[in-house]
Amino acid sequence: MAGVLLGVSAALAGCQREERQLRLDPPVADALDKIALMPSRIGGAPPEVYFKLGKPYEANAYNLSQGKRLYTWFGCKSCHGDGQGGSGPAFLDGWWYYGPELVSIFASIRDGRPHGMPAFGDKMTTDQIWQLAGYVQTIGSYEGKTAAPSRNDEKQTRPAENRAPAKLLFDEGPSPVHPDQGPTP
């Protein structure tokens, strides 16, 4: 009986991560667009409604896997590569130019960044940008999330997101990947 109760409570906690919101109400989508950025455009606060919804883009399995799909569809790989970087940062080593907060990633995708990151604000819906941002955050995450997607059905160049590759790749040793990043980026 205790086992059943334990199972129920564990499952209740994980309930949110399985929800599938196929279409956002337009007012909610509008509100989700109103993030408050710091003047440096790094860091800030997501809109109120984001918390009301229960932070759906960080721990919801469906949104994360949609984000992964968008990452492929919008050609993110061509610059950010699959751990190799190329012309943009690879995320995979846990190194963020503009910080690892979701709002910063959202702003990067929506508005673009200097030195080559284009703005996708007019190519994707707000919902999609949030999904993509949530996924991008998992790429450089130091902890494997159970909601994070696993491998794709394609050639594998790196460990899957749910295996927390950033932790595997982050190297503090004598010749670190990013010497200026400090012990816990």
Partner 1 sequence: MTRPATAPDTRDIDIERTRLTSTLAETWKTPPGFWGALTTVDHKIIGRRYIFTAFVFLALGGVLAALMRLQLAQPEARLIGPDRYNQIFTMHGANMMFLFAVPVMEAVAVYLVPLMVGTRNIAFPRLNAFSYWIYVAGGALLWIAFALDMGPDVGWFAYVPLSGPQYGAGKRADIWAQMITFTELSALAIAVELVVTIFKQRAPGMTLDRIPLFVWSMLVTSFLVIMAMPAIMIASTGLILDRLFGTHFYNPAEGGDVLLWQHLFWFFGHPEVYIIFLPAAGMVSTMIEPFARRPAFGYLGLVMALIATGILAFGLWVHHMFVAGLPRLGDSFFTASSMAIAIPAGIQMFCWLATLWDGRPVFKTPLLFIIGFIVTFVIGGLTGVMVASVPFDTQVHDTYFVVAHFHYVLIGGAVFPLLGAVHYWFPKLTGRMMSETLGRWSFWLIIVGFNATFFPMHILGLEGMPRRVYTYQPDLPWHGLNVFISLSAVVLTAGFLLFFINVLKSARFGEVAPDNPWDAPTLEWATTSPPPSYNFAMIPVVGSLHPLWDERDTLPVADGLRTDRRELIVTTLAAAEPQAREASPRNSIWPLLAAVATTIMLIWSIFSPWAVVWGSIPIAVALIGWFWPKGTPEDES
Backbone angles phi, psi at 18, to 5 degrees: -100, -10
- Choose one: 32-40, 79-87, 143-151, 174-182; the region binding partner 1 (CB under 8 A): 143-151
Q: Is 62 in the site for partner 1 (CB under 8 A)?
A: yes
Smallest gap from residue 151 Cβ to partner 1 (A): 4
CA dist 20 and 102 (Å) reads: 20
- Choose one: 29-37, 58-66, 104-112, 171-179; the region binding partner 1 (CB under 8 A): 58-66
Q: Pick from 66, 108, 137, 138: which binds partner 1 (CB under 8 A)? A: 66
CA dist 179 and 32 (Å) reads: 36
**Residue 49: closest CA among 161, 126, 104, 121:** 126
Q: Is 3 in the site for partner 1 (CB under 8 A)?
A: yes
Q: Pick from 32, 61, 102, 139: which binds partner 1 (CB under 8 A)? A: 61
Smallest gap from residue 105 Cβ to partner 1 (A): 20
Residue type, 133: A
Query: End-to-end alpha-carbon separation of the chain, Å?
Result: 43
Smallest gap from residue 164 Cβ to partner 1 (A): 12
| 126-139 helix and 61-73 helix, angle to the nearest 10 degrees | 90
